[in-house]
Structure 1
């Protein structure tokens, strides 16, 4: 694999970051993940806009304008050919002696790599996945895509330890999102997702799913989701850039709806696959 690091494209074995990097010492940085289909990044402008917002919110200088990022990422993809892939970008505040205060005169550390996206498991599409409900112990700025992900890691591991795929996080009685995904439920045939605020990440896949649903005329609303509503939901989905739209068919060991992926999910899944096909074709 060829890595981009601070202006250079190098083999991964040669990519080195200082132990004084603030990303290593403090988790002082942000990141972005962009899926690529047919060599074309999905919703690239939206991902770069979210990266720029995250950088601005934590007061790290954005090292590139959108055209600079596009050129960098295009070159990185050329140097790492393959099928479906994802681009990972990480920007930290840079290298400085350990001190909580922002350092002066330090350049951000910029790192990017390419990872393969595993094909969708047919069993997941037919049977769905299990999820568990977990208390949300994260900080109050979950709208920033920060690299400080320890609470997310612990929540995901709690789900795995329980034999589930993902954790659905609960804060003050409301379901916010998954440990690494956005949340949708279907009730009375209406698709519902929590509104954007500081308690959840403004997901790019989330926004695309909403757009596809609206274009197809499917009933959709943004509304808070009380924890008890999860138990009564006809369908539950979890969305992310690399896992797309996961149907949750078991929650805390109990079936969701019929216990199989529901008809609204199947419609949205089909629309999303059609969108990907058009992207691959350059349409």
Structure 2
């Protein structure tokens, strides 16, 4: 059955959803996006995603065509209309349509698109096996703190990992891990959780913020700093966080097993806490 999607004020069947060929998101990747998870028919951490969306728009001198309250209503209607119990809602705002020119227009009307994706998130089989990652050079643009739709290199990184028989890639810059292709990266050493500090080099993950908050509440030690690829390979365990994977254990880096080669206890406990607390606060 066809999904109901949202395009510029209208809820339509997916086959009827259209945007202009002159849209700057299509021509220049001039747009931002967010992905909000849905569990039990409710939105996980919507407020965090909405705030980051506003920040991304501000950084790119863009405006939202709707208020955040209206955006929440759109999300909820899509959940209802598509009978979405578990999965994700993808949101994209571009600067809008205008004749092709590198200098963007100040008066273009933003394009807003949302659609749902049904997917099993909570009971992912990868939780039991853990992920295998490879390292690749980080060749993205410098403003990774803005959640733009410029995702070609991360897509290439995913394919590099797949070709190597792995699940994902961790990107390396000046010898230090920045992040995964679509997630934040963590290692655990002697019980200490280590993840890169915030800056323009990585995305300010909404799940990252929640997980670190929950970790501190659980009396776990957290250190936000750069860590090298060599440190990562010598770690006791590792994991990633993202809106669609929550907390996912990493068991191997570049063919080197971490710890006993199985999902680590810290990652698994954090996943339990995250799911429990997020379900309580879901809207």
| Counterpart for residue 131 of structure 2 | 129
- Does the aligned pair in 2 maintain the 1:235–1:249 contact within 8 Å? yes
In the alignment, which of 160, 171, 189 is matched to residue 169 of structure 1?
A: 171
Q: How does 1:62-81 map to 2 (within 5 A)?
A: 62-81=64-83
C-alpha deviation, 1:73, in angstroms: 1.6
- Does the aligned pair in 2 maintain the 1:177–1:183 contact within 8 Å? yes
| Counterpart for residue 251 of structure 1 | 253
- Does the aligned pair in 2 maintain the 1:168–1:175 contact within 8 Å? yes
| Counterpart for residue 92 of structure 2 | 90
| Counterpart for residue 47 of structure 2 | 45
C-alpha deviation, 1:27, in angstroms: 0.6
- Does the aligned pair in 2 maintain the 1:133–1:252 contact within 8 Å? yes
| Counterpart for residue 60 of structure 2 | 58
Change (3 A) 1:272 1:104: closer
In the alignment, which of 136, 150, 156 is matched to residue 148 of structure 1?
A: 150
Q: CA RMSD in A?
A: 1.4
| Counterpart for residue 101 of structure 2 | 99
Where 1:209 maps in the other structure, the secondary structure is helix
Where 2:80 maps in the other structure, the secondary structure is helix
- Does the aligned pair in 2 maintain the 1:92–1:109 contact within 8 Å? yes
CA–CA distance in 1 between the matches of 2:74 and 2:129?
39
TM-score by length of 2: 0.95
Task: Give the paired residue count.
Answer: 281
- Does the aligned pair in 1 maintain the 2:237–2:250 contact within 8 Å? yes
58-67 or 164-173, which deviates more: 58-67
C-alpha deviation, 1:124, in angstroms: 2.0
- Does the aligned pair in 2 maintain the 1:57–1:144 contact within 8 Å? yes
CA–CA distance in 2 between the matches of 1:82 and 1:272?
21
C-alpha deviation, 1:178, in angstroms: 0.1
CA–CA distance in 1 between the matches of 2:122 and 2:169?
20
| Counterpart for residue 18 of structure 1 | 20
Q: Give deviations 1:83-128, integer Å, cap 9, x for gaps.
A: 1121110000101110000124210011001111224566422221
C-alpha deviation, 1:208, in angstroms: 1.0
CA–CA distance in 1 between the matches of 2:123 and 2:63?
40
C-alpha deviation, 1:39, in angstroms: 2.2
| Counterpart for residue 189 of structure 1 | 191
Structure 1 spans left out of the alignment, 5+ residues: none
Moved beyond 6 Å, runs of 4+: none
Where 1:225 maps in the other structure, the secondary structure is coil
CA–CA distance in 1 between the matches of 2:92 and 2:276?
30
Where 2:56 maps in the other structure, the secondary structure is helix
| Counterpart for residue 227 of structure 1 | 229
CA–CA distance in 1 between the matches of 2:173 and 2:215?
27
CA–CA distance in 2 between the matches of 1:279 and 1:268?
16
CA–CA distance in 2 between the matches of 1:142 and 1:88?
19
86-95 or 66-75, which deviates more: 66-75
CA–CA distance in 2 between the matches of 1:107 and 1:270?
42
Q: Give deviations 1:28-50, integer Å, cap 9, x for gaps.
A: 10000000112221111110000
